[in-house]
Amino acid sequence: MASGFKSFYNKLDEFSALSIGQVLKKGGFELIKTIGGAAGAIFGTFFTGQASYYDKNLNGKESLNLEDLANMLKEALTQIKKRGNAKLGDKTMVDALEPAVNELTAGVKNNLSLSQAFKNAAAKAREGSDNTKNLVSKRGRSKNLGERSVGYIDAGSMSTYLIINTIADYIDNPD
């Protein structure tokens, strides 16, 4: 995971002339290429799913608002669930991402600031990730552990929380 995200980060200068959608798409493919396996495909889809929404609905828009970001992440969630055949409660990244997306959507409805909405989403992602400790894994590598997976937080859900939390932190401290 670290090498994949580092590779994505290191290519940002190369992507600087691209649209938001193109950056997300290329970044997603960079994750797929460098992380590999199911994790690469799923976390790559986190970005390519957002790119898909952007390209269909926001193409050319250079400044995104909370509603745009919430919709982009909702599309990423939809594509992740489809790709991994996962749902809430399966002990996957969906257990962190779905509550975060729902919280962002609530933030739009409640007219919250971008900062507050992402702080709330990060808190829900953390809660969802922490709750995976009580679940039996039904998808991914840990599904083979069955009952032995209880007591451990799902790595994908924790990674998802870290991404959402990093976005929240960046909104308040972009330097």
Dump pLDDT digits (tens) for 122-170.
Answer: 999 999 999 999 988 888 777 778 788 898 999 899 999 999 999 999 9
Same-domain check for residues 59 and 10: yes
Q: What pTM did the predictor assign?
A: 0.92
Task: Compute mean pLDDT per 10 residues along the chain, 175 residues long, and list them.
Answer: 92 93 95 89 95 96 96 97 92 96 98 98 98 87 80 91 96 89
Same-domain check for residues 35 and 75: no
Give me the pLDDT at residue 49, please.
Answer: 96
Give me the pLDDT at residue 17, please.
Answer: 92
Same-domain check for residues 71 and 96: yes
Same-domain check for residues 80 and 50: no
Same-domain check for residues 76 and 144: yes
* 54-80 core/surface letters (b: 16 or more CB in 10 A; e: else): bbeebeeeeeeebebbbbbbbbbbebb
Give me the pLDDT at residue 147, please.
Answer: 85
Ordered alpha helix ranges (H), 92-154: 94-109, 114-131
Same-domain check for residues 27 and 72: no
Same-domain check for residues 112 and 169: yes
Report the share of the chain in percent with pLDDT over 90: 81
Same-domain check for residues 113 and 33: no
For the chain, the domain total comes to 2
Give counts: helices (H), strands (E), the chain: 7, 0
The residue among 13, 38, 63 that closes a domain is: 63
- Which residue type, as a one-letter code, is found at position 56? K
Domain that holds residue 55: 1-63
